[in-house]
Chains A and B, each alone.
Chain A
Amino acid sequence: GEDVEQSLFLSVREGDSSVINCTYTDSSSTYLYWYKQEPGAGLQLLTYIFSNMDMKQDQRLTVLLNKKDKHLSLRIADTQTGDSAIYFCAESNRSGGSYIPTFGRGTSLIVHP
């Protein structure tokens, strides 16, 4: 199976909270990331969490990590139409001497009025 798995689509109403979920298989993952990709653009690092943390909050973004279940989630509060994009979960560990993220297939977030 895939090393990092995400659901492919999420549709929410503007103003609601969005929760995007991710599972991964590598128990030695050190960093877990959320990247955002807007249509036709590259990847923007939204936030990351170190593996010894279980929660990180950054303005409207809350990341929850359940290391036992290898489950990562991204909550976006007060979702806006500008949040519509593809969100990629990724994990990395320092194998081979450097961190190289492994990505999921991405979750398309659609925000409708």
Chain B
Amino acid sequence: DAGVTQSPTHLIKTRGQQVTLRCSPKSGHDTVSWYQQALGQGPQFIFQYYEEEERQRGNFPDRFSGHQFPNYSSELNVNALLLGDSALYLCASTPDRGHSGNTIYFGEGSWLTVV
């Protein structure tokens, strides 16, 4: 049973560009969350998707947007990239519409470097 999978694993973008990161949740999971982890910091919550809609959002600007597909996979889009967006982007999935607090699993992350 595959866990949470993310792609790409590493990428480099230029300031002002746009990036799309992808996540496939663990089998049986229907809720996907995205986190940003800057170097030396803990993960910060960006937003959560359930039933193809953004359900909760952290303190991130509108440049960060997402999407969830009918198969529960998800994308994170970041527009107008800034140097400060360089980070590890983590996807987490959970079953039961996010109501299971003890089954939150993370992927390996996508390392984004903005130059």
Name A's B-contacting residues (CB within 8 A): 4, 30-31, 33, 35, 41-45, 48, 50, 88, 90, 92, 94, 96-106
Contact = CB atoms under 8 A, between A and B. Distances in A.
Query: Interface range on chain B: under 10, 10 to 19, 20 to 34, or 35 or more?
Result: 20 to 34
B33 interface: yes
B42 A106 contact: yes
Contacts of B31: 98
Interface in B62-113: 90, 92, 94, 97-102, 104-109
B42 A103 contact: yes
A30 B101 contact: yes
Given A43-B90, A45-B105, A92-B101, A98 B55 contact: yes
Contact of B56 (A42, A50, A100, A105): A100
A96 B6 CA distance: 26
Contact of A42 (B42, B45, B108): B108
Given A42-B90, A105-B42, A96 B106 contact: no
A99 B56 CA distance: 10
Contact of B102 (A4, A48, A98, A102): A48
Among B43, B55, B56, chain A packs the most CB atoms within 10 A around the CB of: B43
Contacts of A48: 101-102
A82 to B, nearest CB: 18
B72 to A, nearest CB: 14
Nearest to A42: B108
A36 B31 CA distance: 22
A42 B106 contact: yes
B42 A104 contact: yes
